[in-house]
Structure 1
Amino acid sequence: MVTFFTQEVQQLLHNKFVVIVGDSVQRSVYKDLVLLLQKDALLSQSQLKAKGELSFENDRLVEGGMRGEMTNGTSYREVRQYCTDHHLVRFYFVTRIYSDYLESILADFQAGPQPDVVIINSCLWDVSRYGAKSVKQYRVNLEKAFNRLDQVLPHACLLVWNMTMPVGHKIIGGFLIPELQHQGKKLPHKVIEGNFYGAVLASSHHFDVLDLHYYFRFDAQHRSGDGVHWNRAVHRRITHLLLAHVADAWGVEIPDKRPQDGCFQANALEWGSQPAPCPAPHAAPPGPCPAPHAAPPGPCPAPHAAPPGPCPAPYAAPPGPWGPEWDNSRLSWTPQPSACPPPWPPFDFCCPSKDPVFQEDSPFLPSHAGPGTPLSGYISFDNCNGYSAEGGCSALPVSSVISAQSDLSSPFPLLSPLRALLLPGSGVASLQPCCSQP
């Protein structure tokens, strides 16, 4: 995994405006990025738990939080901003991917400076706090939000859709109020379904997708006891993934750093352990040095004598001239009869070349194109309410996801070719771009 130090982050984001939109997990993403912009350190536990504070590591609370109503309801608001002469990072707390509040955020983008990077996610609140049909409404709101983001954001802006991280089967406190605790067991499945909708829709709009659910699916031991939030080392790893994604999209090459003993990134940062002082070299025991090992008293033993009797004769060569020990008649190869079946006959269908259908391992219904072609749409894990007698389904159409080679090994494209031509400003002088620009 690519790692970053403070100086590299400052150069990569020099004169850049970064916006992070999401829930409390994304707020911790914002905090870790702000901290890494200033020093090579990890967040403390109190910093991870705090919300709505007036100031955090030289940032300021712009709106909501302690300036407003501190609540666990869907009306909670919090806007934070870290601003220096060459860096601007802003965070918006949202409880729904599309609402009137998101429209006000887009109005901020149009009225003020336009962001260079937008990192956005919203799922947990959407699928748990807005009624029985929240998952269906989430799909509709995703499409509305992506359409509006596509209209408002400039083409040069890099938008990264953060997929929701895994949650536990037992949710304690936080956004899941006591009246909704019974939904905690279903929430992991809703998150997986919501992640699929979000990834496919984001790809269809040519947005970038970072699959955090995939990266941390086996790291439940680093999740907090509430079943939702994560420890400080995980958030530093998220920051590294995001920065590597941004650097790859902008064509910036990050110097390779090999782990070394005593290195902060290799040891202290590895899953949040504190850097331990180097142990002192092994000291010799006090007292005089022991005398070297003395030979045992007595005469030296005699050397090993050869056994009595005549010496054995040396190895004799076999009689006759030397020759190969194999049968020359078997040097010519002839094909032997085999019981292997003949190769498979060619398929009688092929995938369209221009607009391939996105396929995955969820159930499909038969389509109008025939039994050999899957339906161009996703069917819910539970059922498909939109199935019709004609063989169709009113599921949301999906787009193909084209894989791309990158350091992150992400199953989704990092960036469209047009956006890959963009390079950061003059602040990345020491970071060498991997391609030249006219």
Structure 2
Amino acid sequence: MADIFTSSHVRNLLKGKFILILGDSNMRAVYRDVVWVLNNNKIVPESHLRRKLDFSYLGDRLIKQGELNRGRDYLEMREYLTDEFYVKFNFLTKCLTKEVEEMVEDFKKEKTRAPDVIIINSCLWDIARWGPDGVSKYKENMRKLFTLFKESLPVKTLVIFATTPPISQSCSAAFLVKQIEFMKHSLRFEVMEANLFVRQIVPTYGYDIVDLHYHLRMQIHRRCKDGVHWIPTAVRHITNLLLTHISLCWDVPLPGNFEGKLLDRMKEGVKNVKDIKENCTLPDFKVVKDPIMPPPPVPNRNKRSRYQARPKRVDLENTYTNLRHRNRDVVVLDSQYADNISQIDTYSSTSYDDRLIFGQINRDITEGIDFTTDDAYYDLPIQDYPVFGPYGDFESHVGAERHSRSYGRRSVYNGSGNPPYRNRYQRSYGKPY
């Protein structure tokens, strides 16, 4: 939760401070709301939040600009500079751009004033507009960005990363051009994964996070029709969240216009984090690579697993089952009860059990079949995905209607129980994996 800030409270908090806001159109809306609340004690009109590349807004000025398009080269840099306040905004199409590198390099060389607060958010453009490798590049650029911050910014600078708010399942915004409209249905899940990644990596560099996705998950009714942007009341709520976090970090008393248990918990959490930072010395962090997950264990096909369930012993009459497949009679039998192939001719049955229980196939069935042709595999008994039954017996769901070529080459189980031929969709005996 957040306290409610009026114009006088914001002016007292940000007086003489340099606030740098980096991000997309939602962060631009926060910048415009901060400039508005410094001059007015009302909610900013929605039309003000949608302006792009206007030369002046309440006394600010446009520093750099590009063409008004939907491309990745879109450029917009603004600043609101008075005798008491300094607020600057830089539009980002990815988290690490040349303009950001040059800006941070100037901070390091003390060519320009270092900011007191940096509020940054970058996700949607990174993962949607930079090709199929956008996610991997986003992770790499995020590490480079915070490493650059760690090496260039002074210790007093408060860096706050704001997570991406929830988006709609059918969103439509400037970054979703026609070529990538198919991503709008799954982009909301990728946003959650990106927020989780940021939540794990940002604290390792000693910086703060304001989880806008968490605070706005119950404010979906305040989202615009495009499914990405927010109405002025929701933008003001984001501004109050950021100002509350800044006040707690600077030990500035809150306005006291709102009281609640969640706000008290937030105060205690910030106090604990400050105590940890004061008592702990963080080492110099380098670029951290993603942990490489080990490959899944490969089962030993030549060794019987201890988890393998033995086939259920059945009567000799139920051992033989006749399956008609591709106009040929195929007989499945248990080698423990059948001694030779001659017993097959002495028994015939037209019944078919969809849940056929059988053990090892007699080697004699495969005699006389040419295994050099693909058709030979379709004339043999087929064992589909093996699972363990409720009584510990080894069951297999076999159906004649599933004997199609869409499953690829079929498994042929020899007398030893080992599967010499098996495709990627079938599992071997033993522990399921």
User: What is the correspondence of 1:73-92 to structure 2 with a 5 Å cutoff?
Assistant: 73-92=71-90
Q: 1:170 to 1:133 in 2, by over 3 A?
A: same
Residue 94 (str. 1) matches residue 92 (str. 2): yes
Residue 194 (str. 1) matches residue 54 (str. 2): no
Question: Which structure exhibits the higher relative contact order, with contacts defined as CA atoms closer than 8 Å and separated by 6 or more residues?
Answer: 1
Q: 2:39 is paired with a residue of what secondary structure?
A: coil
Q: TM-score, normalised by structure 2?
A: 0.60
- CA shift for structure 1 position 188: 0.5
2: CA distance between counterparts of 1:155 and 1:197? 24
Q: 1:52 to 1:419 in 2, by over 3 A?
A: farther
**More helix per residue:** 2
1: CA distance between counterparts of 2:139 and 2:154? 24
Aligned equivalent of 2:156: 156
Residue 51 (str. 1) matches residue 52 (str. 2): yes
Aligned equivalent of 1:406: 266
- CA shift for structure 1 position 258: 5.7
1: CA distance between counterparts of 2:123 and 2:273? 21
Q: What amino acid is the match of 2:216?
A: F
2: CA distance between counterparts of 1:33 and 1:43? 9
- CA shift for structure 1 position 407: 3.7
User: What is the correspondence of 1:181-260 to structure 2 with a 5 Å cutoff?
Assistant: 181-257=181-257
8 Å Cα contact 1:241-1:408 kept in structure 2: no
Q: 1:414 to 1:100 in 2, by over 3 A?
A: farther
8 Å Cα contact 2:4-2:258 kept in structure 1: no
- CA shift for structure 1 position 140: 1.1
- CA shift for structure 1 position 109: 2.8
Q: 1:224 is paired with a residue of what secondary structure?
A: coil
Q: 1:95 is paired with a residue of what secondary structure?
A: coil
Q: What amino acid is the match of 1:13?
A: L
Aligned equivalent of 2:70: 72
Q: What amino acid is the match of 1:35?
A: W
Q: 1:418 to 1:252 in 2, by over 3 A?
A: same
8 Å Cα contact 1:18-1:88 kept in structure 2: yes
Aligned equivalent of 2:11: 10
Aligned equivalent of 2:20: 19
What whole-Å deviation, never above 9, does each CA across 1:56-90 have from its counterpart, x for those lacking one?
A: 111111111xxx31111110110111111111000
Q: 1:232 to 1:181 in 2, by over 3 A?
A: same
Q: 1:8 is paired with a residue of what secondary structure?
A: helix
Q: Give RMSD over aligned pairs.
A: 2.2
Worse overlay, 109-118 or 24-33: 109-118
Aligned equivalent of 1:35: 36
1: CA distance between counterparts of 2:258 and 2:278? 32
Aligned equivalent of 1:180: 180
2: CA distance between counterparts of 1:182 and 1:419? 49
2: CA distance between counterparts of 1:414 and 1:92? 29
2: CA distance between counterparts of 1:415 and 1:39? 36
What whole-Å deviation, never above 9, does each CA across 1:146-205 have from its counterpart, x for those lacking one?
A: 100111111000000001111111122411101110011111011011111112111100
1: CA distance between counterparts of 2:159 and 2:124? 20
Q: 2:169 is paired with a residue of what secondary structure?
A: coil
Residue 106 (str. 1) matches residue 96 (str. 2): no
- CA shift for structure 1 position 105: 2.3
- Structure 2 residue ranges without an equivalent (≥5): 281-433
Q: 1:169 is paired with a residue of what secondary structure?
A: coil
- CA shift for structure 1 position 100: 2.3
Worse overlay, 96-105 or 192-201: 96-105
- CA shift for structure 1 position 133: 2.1
Aligned equivalent of 2:171: 171
Q: 2:87 is paired with a residue of what secondary structure?
A: strand
Q: 1:184 is paired with a residue of what secondary structure?
A: helix
Q: 1:19 is paired with a residue of what secondary structure?
A: strand
What whole-Å deviation, never above 9, does each CA across 1:43-65 have from its counterpart, x for those lacking one?
A: 2121111111111111111111x
1: CA distance between counterparts of 2:200 and 2:93? 21
- CA shift for structure 1 position 414: 7.2
Q: 1:258 to 1:418 in 2, by over 3 A?
A: closer
Q: TM-score, normalised by structure 1?
A: 0.59
Q: 1:131 to 1:223 in 2, by over 3 A?
A: same
2: CA distance between counterparts of 1:155 and 1:198? 21
Q: What amino acid is the match of 1:30?
A: Y
Q: What amino acid is the match of 2:103?
A: I
- CA shift for structure 1 position 41: 1.4
Q: 2:62 is paired with a residue of what secondary structure?
A: strand
- The number of residue pairs the alignment matches comes to 272
Q: 1:416 to 1:20 in 2, by over 3 A?
A: farther
